[in-house]
Amino acid sequence: MKRHLVTRSILAGAVHVCWMLPAAAQDGGTEMVFGFSQGLEASDNLELDPVSPGSTTFTSTGLSFGLTRETRLDRFGLLAGGVLRGVSGPGAESGLDNQSLDLSYGREGADAGFEANAGYLQTNIEFLEPLDDITDDDGGIDLPPDLDELSGTGNRERYTAGVALDLGRNAPVGASFSADYLAFRYSDTTDPELFDNDRSGAETEVRFRLSPVAVARLGLGYRLYEAEDAEQTRRDTSRGYAGLSVEVSPVLRLDADLGYASIDTREFGATETSSGLEALLRLERDMPNGTVTAEAEQYVTDDGTIRTFTAGRSLELPNGALSATLGAADSDIGQSEIIGSLSWRQELPRGGINAQLQRWVDFDEDDGNVLRTALLVDYIHEINGLSSIGLKAGYTVSDEAAGSTDRASFTAEYKYALTEDWSLDTGYRYRMREELAGARAQSHAVFVSIGREFRVRR
């Protein structure tokens, strides 16, 4: 999709929704938010090259429009935005960037639920901050699939869509269905490892309530990966399983799954198959101040079977929470690795801190089995009723057969409320990227911006 067509779609969607507002307002749950920001930033290595081509200064004018509508049964959301940049220096060109459009719809029934969403995001890679938004809806770490390859310059477009249906949540027989789609399109890139690719999948599950404390499950899943790489990769993954969830006692729960997976991978016109048994056993016990867990899992990848075992403990703290897991993972082609996680959230008298550390074995559609480590720290301190300081840091390491890639980012930001409606943000940003046996690339930047949001409720 061409950029000017996307821009027209965003504007047309916003206008269409605005025409719908009088009817929607009759339900009394509609809110519109108009956003504006104006910023100035200077970077000594915008492209994040090992040898900086020079300093770059740019201005950014951002516009956004959001709409939410809620009734007793359903909710609708729309968010659109874009940034117009004027650039002076190497590494980028002036123009429209960060074009985005997100749509979501959800409906809740007495014993069922439905959700649907679709999104588009266009970003110039040199302005992309891949470690700024790597958490999912539950707050866990979720790295972008192309994180390790994002470098240099060029244009990146991301398309997403998803639908989920849940029926008979408390009935003797229930069912669920979900489908998702994720696609990346790249143009004018300087990194040859960035190529167009599509990921799609569907899953369905039928549940049987055997008793008030036991539920049996039967499920099927299918995933497809296609890439415009040199190998013209196509990977079809089919899975099936049977599971059982039991409340052994008021404080002890057990989940067990047993299934089979088959993966067909076609490269250069030749197809190879990887298949085997998959299993999951999980125990969770309530404690006076949290839970204790133990989990063993075996699953099949294109690079062979991976087996993991972890034990964990979660604690409820005064004004916070702490959880940790520790275990090991091994695969058919690699040595055993220590895996685990640590999560700490604490509300402070004048702010808060949120820290996460995770180490796990992952299957990358392009690079195979990868050992990943990710660290996130987010700290906010309120100086007074008008100003605050924020510190945010991220660090990731990807170890694979071809080498390792390290990424890091750090942002220190000062926020000040100029008036009731206008805010000022200023700060410093550091970025780093380093590959094994390669030179380290670093970037330092300073920025300042003002912004305002206008809210209209109907």
Mean per-residue pLDDT, 197-212: 97
Q: Which of 148-157, 204-213, 337-346, 394-403 has the least mean pLDDT?
A: 394-403
Strands 214-227 and 234-249: antiparallel
The two tokens of residue 98 are 């960060």
Give the model's pLDDT for residue 26: 43
The DSSP element (H or E) to which 160 belongs, if any, is strand 155-167
Asked if pLDDT for residue 319 goes beyond 60, the answer is yes
Asked if pLDDT for residue 339 goes beyond 50, the answer is yes
User: CA-CA-CA-CA torsion for 131, 135, 140, 145, nearest 10 degrees?
Assistant: -70
* Per-residue pLDDT reduced to its tens digit, 301-311: 988 899 999 99
Q: How many Cα atoms sit within 13 Å of 348 on the Cβ side? A: 12
Nearest to residue 209, comparing CAs of 249, 157, 252, 244?
244
C-alpha distances out from residue 245 to 210, 211, 255, 257, Å: 10, 11, 5, 9
Asked if pLDDT for residue 326 goes beyond 50, the answer is yes
Distance CA 249, CA 245 (A): 12
Residues in Cβ contact with 318 at an 8 Å cutoff, skipping those fewer than 6 apart: none
Q: Which of 10-24, 120-134, 307-321, 327-341 has the least mean pLDDT?
A: 10-24
* Per-residue pLDDT reduced to its tens digit, 66-103: 999 999 899 999 999 999 999 999 988 899 999 999 99
Asked if pLDDT for residue 8 goes beyond 80, the answer is no
Strands 422-435 and 304-317: unpaired
Residues in Cβ contact with 73 at an 8 Å cutoff, skipping those fewer than 6 apart: 107, 108, 109
The DSSP element (H or E) to which 284 belongs, if any, is strand 270-287
**Whole-model pTM?**
0.89
Mean per-residue pLDDT, 234-248: 97
Give the model's pLDDT for residue 10: 35
Indicate the DSSP class of residue 141.
B
Give the model's pLDDT for residue 22: 38
Asked if pLDDT for residue 18 goes beyond 60, the answer is no
Mean of pLDDT over the chain = 90
The terminus-to-terminus CA distance of the chain in angstroms comes to 34
- pLDDT band for 20, please (50, 70, 90 cuts): very low
Distance CA 67, CA 76 (A): 8
Distance CA 418, CA 429 (A): 22
Which amino acid is located at 59 in the chain?
T
The two tokens of residue 6 are 């996307």
With left for phi above 0 and alpha for psi between -120 and 50, is residue 276 left, alpha or beta? left
User: CA-CA-CA-CA torsion for 361, 363, 367, 369, nearest 10 degrees?
Assistant: 40
Distance CA 319, CA 448 (A): 33
Give the model's pLDDT for residue 152: 86
SS (H, E, C) 32-46: EEEEEEEEEEEECCC
* Per-residue pLDDT reduced to its tens digit, 171-183: 999 999 999 999 9
Distance CA 58, CA 39 (A): 8
The number of residues in the chain equals 458
